[in-house]
Amino acid sequence: MKNILVTGGAGFIGSNFVHFMLNKYPDYTIVNFDTLTYAGNLENLTAVEKDPRYRFVKGDICDAGQVTAALKEHAVDTIVHFAAESHVDRSITGPAVFVQTNVVGTQVLLDASRAHGIERFLHVSTDEVYGSLGATGYFTEETPLHPNSPYSASKASSDMLVLAYQHTFGFPGLVTRCSNNYGPYQFPEKLIPLMIANALNDRPLPVYGDGLNVRDWLYVEDHCSALDTVLHGGTLGEVYNIGGHNEWKNIDIVKLVLKEIGKPESLITFVKDRPGHDRRYAIDAARIKNDLGWVPAYQFESGIKRTVQWYLQNRPWWERIISGEYKNYYAAQYPVQH
């Protein structure tokens, strides 16, 4: 493993992963292959843009010619596949691009990777493919897939494609399924950065439904270290769940963010629920812990503090985002607030 192509490396987790890998492996080169949708932002990578071990290629995973050219030109031997449409709410208002990017894009990438003779292909997926839990229990890798949103259905389809290619062609694929991430560079449409940005601007904090839905949160750097662990030590054809046993009700996260920023709970506004809203996610990560020895490094309270500090110190980063096209998305998604 030497030349890694990271798809979606200009997004939230992808850009954190590029930083993580360049810091950890002096001998690796990283090619960031990203088409720069609304969620892709090269500002996330300004610190490494002059690093000779880093290259950016503007390309679309749905375009076989562009993918093949990048694999050849950079002698890529390994792929870590993040590129996706990633926001559940957007998948409810416009599912087509989710099928195009997440399903068709993954299939195009798989075919190009096979033809190129890739050595290892890590597909980055999500716990949402398992559906929703009741008050008890955990998702294991054996939990049947039951995706409930167009987003999670498209991710489950792409997982199945990777595993089918492994089974049928002996393709060197692995799949990870992680719980909710938070940390620097997360686009402010997602719960935690949206609440931080709104709180800092004294705007209402829109909590869906009764606020009692539960998510299992992991600091993004812990996700990166887990991906690194699976990339180097995982068994081909295997699925690895990733999570830190850190369940929180949405309303409690929002209150924690307000406390951290020093703003009043009166900013909380309950709004119409997300259609088909999954009630609870909780990951059993025994396989990656027991078989590969991965452990998360961050406690939630310190991770949230770091995250709030990052958004405070990088105000121009998210202010540029929320002052552009995002305004139209926000007005449509949260109509009662206007």
Partner whose footprint covers residue 8, from ligand TDX, ligand NAD, none (CB < 5 to 8 Å by kind): ligand NAD
Residue appearing with tokens 């609870």: 280
Q: One of 54, 138, 151, 240 is an active-site residue; which one?
A: 151
* Cβ neighbours of residue 268 closer than 8 Å, sequence gap 6 or more: 204, 205, 207, 211, 251, 254, 255, 258
| 102 token code pair | 């997440």
Enumerate the β-bridge partners of residue 207. Answer: 270
Told to judge if 222 belongs to the known catalytic residues of this protein, a careful annotator would answer: no
Shortest distance in whole angstroms from residue 336 CB to ligand NAD: 25
Q: Are 10 and 112 in contact (CB under 8 A)?
A: no
Told to judge if 189 belongs to the known catalytic residues of this protein, a careful annotator would answer: no
The helix (run of H) or strand (run of E) holding residue 174 is strand 173-178
Among 105, 206, 244, 296, binds ligand TDX (CB under 6 A): 206
- Dist CA 243 CA 226 (whole Å): 9
Asked if 18 touches ligand NAD (CB under 6 A), the answer is no
Q: Which of residues 183-202 bind ligand NAD (CB under 6 A)?
A: 187
Among 70, 88, 103, 257, binds ligand TDX (CB under 6 A): 88
Among 215, 223, 287, 289, binds ligand TDX (CB under 6 A): 215
Nearer to ligand NAD, 265 or 297 (CB): 297
Q: Are 267 and 199 in contact (CB under 8 A)?
A: yes
- Dist CA 30 CA 221 (whole Å): 17
Q: In what order do the strands lie in the sheet with 78-81?
A: 54-58, 29-34, 3-7, 78-81, 120-126, 173-178, 239-242
Shortest distance in whole angstroms from residue 193 CB to ligand TDX: 9
Among 5, 12, 54, 322, binds ligand NAD (CB under 6 A): 12
Among 79, 112, 178, 194, binds ligand NAD (CB under 6 A): 178
Asked if 87 touches ligand TDX (CB under 6 A), the answer is yes
Among 116, 123, 190, 289, binds ligand TDX (CB under 6 A): 190
Told to judge if 128 belongs to the known catalytic residues of this protein, a careful annotator would answer: yes
| 293 token code pair | 């020895």
Asked if 86 touches ligand NAD (CB under 6 A), the answer is yes
Partner whose footprint covers residue 13, from ligand TDX, ligand NAD, none (CB < 5 to 8 Å by kind): ligand NAD
Asked if 208 touches ligand TDX (CB under 6 A), the answer is yes
Q: One of 89, 128, 216, 228 is an active-site residue; which one?
A: 128
- Region from 59-67, 202-210, 228-236, 324-332 binding ligand TDX, contact rule CB under 6 A: 202-210
**How distant, in Å, are the alpha carbons of 78, 105, 120, 288, 321 from that of 291?**
22, 31, 19, 5, 41
Q: Give the alpha-carbon dihedral of 60, 82, 234, 121, to 10 degrees.
A: 0
- Dist CA 104 CA 328 (whole Å): 27
- Region from 114-122, 207-215, 222-230, 234-242 binding ligand TDX, contact rule CB under 6 A: 207-215
Short-list 281, 308, 169, 139, CA closest to 216: 281
Give the residues lining the site for ligand TDX (CB under 6 A).
Answer: 86-88, 126, 128, 180, 190-191, 194, 206-208, 213, 215, 250, 274
Give the residues lining the site for ligand NAD (CB under 6 A).
Answer: 7-8, 10-14, 34-37, 39-40, 60-62, 82-84, 86, 101, 105, 124, 126, 155, 178, 180-181, 187
As annotated, the active-site residues are 127-128, 151
